[in-house]
Chain A
C-alpha cells in the first residue's frame, strides 16, 4: 500500500533565508492590525458593551426587517443592529447601552423587545435573549483581557523554564503576533467580538504554541546533536524535519474545523472562524516568528550543554558524533 505523503522525504526548504522580509511583512501586518483595532475599533458584542441581543424566528418566509426596525426605533432606545442568521426568517437584533446608563436599562430593553415583537408579530419564536448591564459588561471585558494577558504570559514563562529565555521571548512574540492579527481580522471584517471570541483566542494561543513547541523541541535536540552547524542552517533543518508533522496536524485540525464551520450551529460561527484563522496564522508564526528570533536573541550551541544527559552522550557516541 502506498501511503500519502504531503511533504516528501528530505524536503529542504530554506525558510530562514527570507526571515528579514517575512519579519518586515509580519511587523507591518501587526502594525496595520493594531491601527485598525484602535481606529475602526472592534465590533464589541453586548457581553462587552452592555445592552441586549435577541434572536427571533418569524412565522413568515423571510424576516420583515424594515418593519421590525421601525417598531424598534419607536421604542426610543436608539438604532438597533439587525442581522440575518441561519434561515432567512431568523434575525438577531442587538442594541447597545448608551455610555451613561442606570442599572436596570439593559433589562428593560430586553423586556420591551419581547413585548414589541410579541405584539406586532404573532407566532414569532424567540430563540435566545441576552441582556447585560453596563457594570457586568465592564467586568467581563476586564476579566477577558486579563485572561488573555495571563495566558500569554503564563505560557511564555513555562517555555522559558522548560527551554531558555530566548525561547520564551520567541514564544511570547509569536503569540502577540497571532493575537494581534486575529484582532485585526475582527476589526477589518466587523464580526462581533464577544466572550466566545476571547475563549477562541485563548484556544488558539494554546494550539499555536503546539507548533512552536514542536519546532523548539527539535531545535533543542539538534543544538545538542550538531555542535558545529551554523544556527540559521540548524533552524532550517529543524523546521524541515518537523514540517511534515506541522502540515499533517494543521490539516487535521482544519478538517474538523471546516466541518464545524460549514455544518455546525451558526450560533458559534464567529468562534469557529476565529480558531480557523488562528490555525493558519499560528502555523505561519511558529515557523517565521518564533524561529528567527532565536538567532537575534543569540541562542548558541552552548545553551543546552548542561542539560545533556549521560544517555544522550552515549547515544551521540554510538552514532559516531563526538
Chain B
C-alpha cells in the first residue's frame, strides 16, 4: 500500500505535471500575461455566459414542409398528365386535408394515369419506401397521401439545407467563429461569441427570403377578393407592411410563376432614376430564359413580386426583360435592401424558422462573472487551506498541495479538451464546490488514521489502514456524484452541461490527487523519517 517504486513515482509525477501545466497558458492570460505563440498553448474555452455572446435556437414547422410538398406534387401531376399522349383530362382537384385528390375524367385512362404518377411517388431514400401512397377509389378518383417516412425524409433534407443557408447568411454578416448545429429533428442552434445584440441576426434568419414572381390576376373583382373569393387557379396574397401595398389584398395566378431559387447573384444598388435603394438580381440561364418568356408573353400586364408570401411590389411589364437581370424595389432603406440581398444570395430557407430560445450575454457581464468567481475561488481556497492546516497539521499540508494540483489539473484538462468542454459560470461554481468536496477524501483518510492511532496501531500500520479502510467509502461517494453529473450532462443545456463536465473531471482528478498523490507523499515521508509518532 505504501510502496512506491521509482518508476511509479515518475509516472505519477509525469501525469500530474502534464495536466497541471496545461492550465498555465489560460491562467497567465487571466492575469493578463501574454503567452508566446510559438509554445503549445492549450486554452480553456469559455462558454458564452463568460465570454459574452448570443445563443439562438431556431425551430421549423414540419407542417410547412408537408404543405410545400403537396403543392409541388400538384404541379407535377398536372404537368405529367397534360403532357401525356393523348392528354389525360382531370378535374375536381383538391389539396384539402393534406391529401391530393382528383378525378380522371375518362375511366379507361386510370391505369395510364397511374403509370405516369407512380414513378413520382417512389422514395429518394435508400430504404425503397414510398414517399406517397396512391389510392384509387370509385373507379376514377385518385387519392395521393404523404407517407410518414417520405415526410420525415423531406423534413430532414429541408433542415439540412436550412442549416446550410443559415451558415451562409451568418458568414455573410462577417461574425467571428459562429457555431451552427442542427439539433434534433427540427431545430438549429446558433452560437455566436462576442455578439451582444442578436436582433439583426435574428431578423436575417427569420426571413425565409423566398422570392416569387407571379402574374396578377386581373379578372378577379376587388369586391370578390375582399370576401376571399378568387377565380379558380388564383390565390390572394397580402401586401407587405411598409410597401406601397400594405393593407391591400392582391389576386395572383397560382401556377407558372418563377421562383427566386434560380438566382446567381443579388446586390443592393440604387435605382438610377429615383436614387431609391433597390436590390438587383441576376438569374441563372434557365431562370433567365423563363423570366424572359414570362415577361415577353405578358407585356403590359402587371406581375407581383412576392417575398415570403407578401407582395412587395407589382409593377407593369413595360417590355420583355431578356438579359436575366431585374431590379426589385419595395420602399427599402439601404440597410433593409442590403439584408434582403444577403438573404437572396444565400438562398431561400426551405422552411420558415422561428426563434424559440435566445440567450445573450454582454462581454462585460461575463468578465465581471469571471473576476468575481476568481476572487470567491481564491478566498474560499485560502480559508479552506488554513482550516485544513490547523485541523490536520502535516497531513493538512499534503491535503492542500493535492488541492492546488487538483485545481490546476481540472483547468488543464479543460484546456486540453479545448472546444469539447467550455468553462461556464455554473462551471466556476462547480470548480469552487469541487475544491470544497475534494478534501472529503483526505478528511476520511485522515480521520481514519486518527482512529487507528487511537486504537494503538503503530504509525505505518495506522496510515496504511487509514488509506485502505476509507477507500470503499471514497469510491462509493464518488460514484454517486458521477451518476448525478452524468444525468445532468444528459438532460442539461449549455451552462448546466459545463457544470456537469467540471464535476466529472473534478471527480477523477480529485481521487487522483487526494488519494494517490497524498499517499505517495506520506509514504515518502514515512520512509525518510521513520517517525514513531505523528501529530494528527
What CA separation (Å) do A251 and B433 show in the bound complex? 12
A-B contact list, 21 entries, CB within 8 Å: A9-B454, A106-B356, A110-B358, A127-B361, A133-B357, A147-B490, A199-B496, A202-B484, A206-B480, A206-B484, A217-B472, A217-B473, A242-B447, A248-B443, A252-B384, A255-B387, A256-B383, A259-B376, A259-B432, A265-B373, A271-B426
Q: With both chains docked as a complex, state the minimum distance between the C-beta of B208 and any C-beta of chain A, in angstroms.
A: 13
Instruction: Report if B485 contacts A (CB, 8 A).
Output: yes
What CA separation (Å) do A151 and B489 show in the bound complex? 11
**Are A275 and B390 in contact, with the CB atoms below 8 A?**
no
**Are A256 and B384 in contact, with the CB atoms below 8 A?**
yes
Q: Per-position contact with A for B454-481: 1 when CB-CB < 8 Å, else 0?
A: 1000000000000001001100110111
Q: With both chains docked as a complex, state the minimum distance between the C-beta of B118 and any C-beta of chain A, in angstroms.
A: 38
**Are A264 and B372 in contact, with the CB atoms below 8 A?**
yes
**Are B436 and A151 in contact, with the CB atoms below 8 A?**
no
B487-502 interface with A by 8 A CB criterion: 487-488, 490-493, 495-496, 499-500
A245-279 interface with B by 8 A CB criterion: 245, 248-249, 251-260, 262-265, 267-268, 271-272, 275
A116-173 interface with B by 8 A CB criterion: 125-133, 135-136, 140, 143-144, 146-147, 150-151, 154-155, 158-159, 162
Instruction: Report if A16 contacts B (CB, 8 A).
Output: no
**Are A196 and B426 in contact, with the CB atoms below 8 A?**
yes
Q: With both chains docked as a complex, state the minimum distance between the C-beta of B361 and any C-beta of chain A, in angstroms.
A: 4
Bin the interface of chain A by size: 35 or more
Chain A residues within 8 Å of B364, by CB: 125, 127
Known: A207-B437, A263-B375. A213 touches B476 (CB 8 A): yes
Chain A residues within 8 Å of B383, by CB: 255-256, 259
> Binding site of B, secondary structure by majority: helix, strand, loop or mixed?
helix
Q: With both chains docked as a complex, state the minimum distance between the C-beta of B220 and any C-beta of chain A, in angstroms.
A: 30
Instruction: Report if B362 contacts A (CB, 8 A).
Output: yes
What CA separation (Å) do A162 and B472 show in the bound complex? 10
Number of A-B residue pairs, CB cutoff 8 Å, is: 239
Q: Per-position contact with A for B346-382: 1 when CB-CB < 8 Å, else 0?
A: 0000000011111111101100110011011101110
Instruction: Report if A26 contacts B (CB, 8 A).
Output: no
Name the one of A126, A151, A209, A213 contacting B362, with C-beta atoms under 8 angstroms. A126
B508-536 interface with A by 8 A CB criterion: 535-536
Instruction: Report if B241 contacts A (CB, 8 A).
Output: no
Closest residue on chain A to residue B445 by CB atoms: A245
**Are B493 and A265 in contact, with the CB atoms below 8 A?**
no
Known: A253-B433, A255-B384, A260-B376. A129 touches B358 (CB 8 A): yes
Q: With both chains docked as a complex, state the minimum distance between the C-beta of B238 and any C-beta of chain A, in angstroms.
A: 18
**Are B484 and A4 in contact, with the CB atoms below 8 A?**
no
**Are A150 and B444 in contact, with the CB atoms below 8 A?**
no
